[in-house]
Homo-oligomer: A and B are copies of this chain.
Amino acid sequence: MNVLLTGFEPFGGASVNPSWEAVRLVPGVRAVQVPCVFGEALEHLRAAVLEHDPSVIVCVGQAGGRADMTVERVAVNLNDARIPDNAGQQPIDEPVVRGGPAAYFATLPVKACVAAARAAAVPASVSQSAGTFVCNHLFYGLMHLIATELPGVRGGFVHVPFAPEQTLGRSEPSMPVAMAAAALTAIVTAAVSVADDLRLVGGSLH
């Protein structure tokens, strides 16, 4: 099957983005870098989809401060930027798609993806929120694209922790890029091969 992975360029003053560094290490997939810019990120995604015609699409972003790989479950129709994006835009409480539904669920088998990452010895969990910055923007745009134009395509979003070199003096959680790539490889395999998601505990009390 044809698999497309996207990773982001660096943002917020960083010189590296572990989402892109990890994505480019995953074997057997199309890896595309997208800008950390509202709007433009979606244009790059659409162009890559047209070019590669994938049946599985996983967008990947950095979640600084998280300790494990997180498979996102819900994309919300909301741009609400705490900091400016790489083009200086800072939308507040605007929809990703005017008139779109409030949210989409990922069509990846999220519990099976988490189980696959753990089976590859990488800490992972389900996340109930991808935030309201460009990551969620891309995730929502992907799921809207699938819902409206790409029936049958599986799509979702995965967040990776900081790379160790980003936290050298900060005592924050990190994960080596090679380990994040191993988890992504396992997640892609699950996304391609698992028909029905697993019924595993993985919710959040709040």
Please report whether the interface of chain A is mostly helix, strand, loop or mixed according to DSSP: loop
Measured between beta carbons, the chain B residues less than 8 angstroms from A135 are: 205-206
Measured between beta carbons, the chain B residues less than 8 angstroms from A76 are: 73-74, 103, 128
Number of interface residues of A (CB under 8 A): 63
> How many monomers of this chain does the complex have?
4
Q: Does the CB pair B169–A125 fall under 8 Å?
A: yes
Please pick, from B90, B123, B171, B201, the residue contacting A125 in the complex, using a CB distance under 8 A.
B171
Q: Does the CB pair B131–A199 fall under 8 Å?
A: no
Which of A23-31, A51-59, A61-69 is the interface stretch? A61-69
The smallest beta-carbon distance between A115 and chain B, in angstroms, is: 10
- Most B CB contacts (10 A, CB to CB) among A74, A135, A205 go to A205
Q: Does the CB pair B132–A131 fall under 8 Å?
A: no
The smallest beta-carbon distance between A194 and chain B, in angstroms, is: 14
Which of A42-50, A173-181, A184-192 is the interface stretch? A173-181
Q: 21 interchain pairs (CB within 8 A)?
A: A64-B205, A64-B206, A67-B172, A67-B173, A67-B174, A74-B103, A82-B201, A82-B202, A101-B102, A118-B168, A118-B169, A121-B165, A122-B164, A123-B169, A123-B170, A128-B131, A128-B132, A129-B129, A131-B203, A133-B203, A174-B175
